[in-house]
Chains A and B, each alone.
Chain A
Amino acid sequence: MHELAVCQALMEQVESIALEEQADSVVAVHLGIGPLSGVEPRLLEQAFFIARAGSIAAEAELVIENLPVRISCDQCGQTSDALPARLLCGVCGNWRTKLVSGDELQLQHMELVRQTADELAEPEADIQQQHERVN
């Protein structure tokens, strides 16, 4: 269960980016995970529900994109899909292949809510209107 440790690292990044972007809250966190990253998405989701409590991302949704295992062959140069424990070229069967995708463990993007300058100004405008009406 190293997913808890991974999730703590994720929350530190989420909080620091939210602070940097002066966000009021984080509404969604998007990750890209490949099966060869060694992290189990379902366990990470469970850890996220615990780790988000009390943070700026307390209400945030976690969206995980499961990335496919793709390899390129050193021999025939073709790219093909593969299974995590069988990285043989799908075209010629050679074992000398390189991973193109499938070991990602990445924070891709976040969705934030920020009060804009207009929204901040609105309450004052309301007061102004009420004031005018009274007069």
Chain B
Amino acid sequence: MRAGQGMRIGNILAAFYAAAIYGFIFLPVVVLVLFSFQDGRFPIPPFQGFSLRWYEELLADRRLTAALVNSVFVALLSSAAAVTLGFLAAYGLARFRLPGAGLQKALLVAPLTVSYLIIGMGLLITFNAIGFPRSLLAAGIGHVVINMPLCFAIVFSQMGEHQANAERAARDLGAREWQVLALVTVPMMWPSLFASFFLSMTFSWDEFIISFLLTRFDVTLPVEIWNMLRSGLNPKTNAAGSLVFGISVVLVLMLELTVLRRRRPA
């Protein structure tokens, strides 16, 4: 009897604790999104009514929409490059015996251990030295540097022996190397390629410091939002932040629903 009661009190405490932490986790997001609909000039209580005017201002802001398009381009292209390079390297290192393979793997994942600020700064100083201008291209190069190790690690970890057997079979039946790669390996590796692509997309989409250091006139969305912060608290910044958050959540949910669902036991 006493044990049962203790159990019940434990469950109630657990529920309270979980509710408190979830509250803490969601508080800033809820405040951000709620006051993006504020019908007034300040994103602080009291809530004065529901309005979409800040979203309208957002869409009318040329600099902001340009930054949004830039962000999408940088995210798409840098992720495509990161996945391609990472996949090819994973294939080479998983399927062939190369001298110094351990060292190569260590080199490929090394950027994961260094903070974005330092990676961005190194690129900035180097690009300055060779006269390469600060631009979206420069930021994109930086995004490939941070995302390729992740793509490589994900794809490499999923390259198993049964896929190697299928590749051998294809080769025995006369397929050329590129045919094996394009018609056998890529379709088999599709889930992990997809996962690394979307993960790269979300990281590139949210990345600030490298873009901040390496872009100049054309900037990405997080940099433009950073510029907006100078005007202080403003419902328009809330609207921009809510939009970024919404797009990130859509990307994550797509990843969750398409790739991760397959791995779940039925």
Partners in one complex: no
